[in-house]
Each structure stands twice: as C-alpha cells, then as structure tokens.
A and B are shown apart, each in its own frame.
Chain A
Amino acid sequence: GENVEQHPSTLSVQEGDSAVIKCTYSDSASNYFPWYKQELGKRPQLIIDIRSNVGEKKDQRIAVTLNKTAKHFSLHITETQPEDSAVYFCAGTTGGTSYGKLTFGQGTILTVHP
C-alpha cells in the first residue's frame, strides 16, 4: 500500500517569510495529492490539491508542486501570516480500485510568529 512521509514535523517562521513542507510517497500509481490544514481542535480542511497530470498548481499565497519521477510533492506558502499557524497534512491515493482511500503524512506543525 501507499506510504507517505512528511517533513519537517515542526516549522517556525516569521510573518512574511515563506514556508515549505515536503512529502514523499511510495506508490508510483498514486495520482491525487491533497493538502489539509487543521487548526487546533478543528477538523482538517482541504486547502489545495494536485493531480498527477499537473506539475504545479497555485491558489493565491499557496502553491503545490509535484515531481512524479522523484515521487515527492511540496506545499509552498508565501507571505505567511499568523493565521496560517496550524497543522498541515499531505496525503496521497491511487484512486481507482483504492476507492479514494487517502494515506496521510504525519503532519507539520507550522507556527508563524508576528
């Protein structure tokens, strides 16, 4: 089955800096990679996703890149703000007969200092 590794486990930045979180996956058949943000005591919420036929996707200050050859994908947050502080999870799935089962990384605690 799929295995997803996420780094770093904690990340501390100053407001306005950029933050990068990286994930690697094991199953070369994986084709869908979402990122979730979870604020303290809240549910995970989808913030951006990318499919295997795309190398990069942007949504305002958030971008995700995918390198299928190296089997890794990254989340980039620019101009960070204190409200970006949360736990971020990457995930991957092979779709199809895996029925959309997402395998999650271990999470990254992002702290943005004002």
Chain B
Amino acid sequence: NAGVTQTPKFRVLKTGQSMTLLCAQDMNHEYMYWYRQDPGMGLRLIHYSVGEGTTAKGEVPDGYNVSRLKKQNFLLGLESAAPSQTSVYFCASSYLSSYGYTFGSGTRLTVV
C-alpha cells in the first residue's frame, strides 16, 4: 500500500516547455486534488476531481490542465511553462468529502 505517489520529484523546465505531473493513489479514493505551495501563501487549490472522468477548477487554475481517465490517476499538465509556475506541487486524495487528505511527497518544479 503505497498511498499517494507523485512523479517526478524534481524538474527544471525552460519557459514555454510543457510537462505532465503524475499522481497515483492505491486507496480507492474518489476525490483527488492538485495544490501548489508557495512561501507565505499556504497551499492553493489548482484543480480537483470528484471521480473518474470528472475534473473541476480550483482557486488558481490558469495555465494548468488536468485529466482523470482512471480512478487511481490524476494528471496535471503545464502546456507552456512560465516562471510564475515555479512552485512545489502536491497531489492529495480523500475517501469522501469532509475527510482528511493523504498527500503525495510533492514535485519541486523550477521554470527558468
């Protein structure tokens, strides 16, 4: 039982490049979330999913896209990376609404 696994752990991108972050959970959780963490700003919700095939925008969705083709996987895409997207990205999942999250180990992304 691995919980929530994120890949990659680190990445450096050049401005304009694209990439996909993968989140996988093996707990059969319905809900999955992508947050970004920046110094002094806590964790801000980018996109979330309430089940296979569903996605919705969070607080800071611009510049990101997501997909949830399988229940256990939630992908976060950056089509054209910008320096403002330099951040630590955390994926999380929860069993139901109003239950605590299980977080992945994070992806540190630097856009130069």
For this complex, into which size category does the number of interface residues on chain B fall?
A: 20 to 34
Q: How far is the CA of A34 from the CA of B42 in the complex (A)?
A: 14
Contact A43 B31 (CB under 8 A): no
What is the number of residues of chain A that contact chain B, defined by CB distance less than 8 Å? 27
Whether A89 is near chain B, meaning CB under 8 Å from some CB there, is yes
Give B37-84 interface residues, CB cut-off 8 Å to A: 40-45, 48, 50, 56, 58-59
> Interface SS of chain B: helix, strand, loop or mixed?
loop
In the complex, whether A31 has a CB less than 8 A from a CB of chain B is yes
Quote the shortest CB–CB distance from A100 to chain B (angstroms). 4
**B106 pairs with A104, CB closer than 8 A:** no
A20 within 8 A of B: no
Q: How far is the CA of A46 from the CA of B99 in the complex (A)?
A: 10
Name the contact of A105 in the complex, choosing from B42, B59, B105, B106 (C-beta under 8 A).
B42
Residues of A bordering B, CB below 8 Å: 1, 6, 9, 31-32, 34, 42-46, 49, 51, 89, 93, 95-96, 98-107
9 closest cross-chain pairs (CB), A and B: A95-B98, A100-B97, A32-B98, A46-B100, A104-B42, A43-B103, A104-B43, A95-B97, A106-B42
